[in-house]
């Protein structure tokens, strides 16, 4: 079962947004599936978007423990949060 890096349940939404912005900016995670009209845009909330971006960054960086921290707002899980045509990078 693959390991995923997702947004930590109960994390502060502002901190999640900051980490999401970093992952999709400086971190260069592929966030194109999170754009309006793309498969991972809905549901449009920071937890779902951050989870996708965190997992993309984690897998892009070789699945190291350090690549799933995001200032304490990320966590590891074996649960697959993929839904519909939106697949987490670790599920592909």
Range of the domain at 77: 4-91
Report percent pLDDT > 90 for the chain: 91
pLDDT tens column, 10-51: 999 999 999 999 999 999 999 999 999 999 999 999 999 999
Does residue 1 register a pLDDT over 80? Answer: no
Per DSSP (E only), the strands in the chain are: 4-7, 74-77
User: Rounded to the nearest 5 degrees, what angle is found at the Cα of 27, between the Cα atoms of 59 and 44?
Assistant: 80
What's the whole-model pTM score?
0.95
> Domain count of the chain?
1
Does residue 2 register a pLDDT over 90? Answer: no
Report percent pLDDT > 70 for the chain: 100
């Amino acid at each position: 079962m693959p390991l995923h890096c997702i947004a930590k349940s109960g994390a502060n939404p502002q901190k999640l947004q900051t980490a999401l912005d970093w992952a999709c900016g400086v971190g260069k995670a592929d966030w194109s599936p999170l754009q309006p009209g793309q498969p991972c845009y809905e549901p449009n909330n920071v937890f779902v978007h951050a989870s996708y971006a965190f997992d993309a960054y984690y897998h892009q960086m070789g699945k190291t423990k350090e690549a799933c921290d995001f200032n304490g707002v990320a966590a590891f899980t074996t649960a697959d949060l993929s839904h519909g045509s939106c697949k987490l990078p670790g599920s592909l």
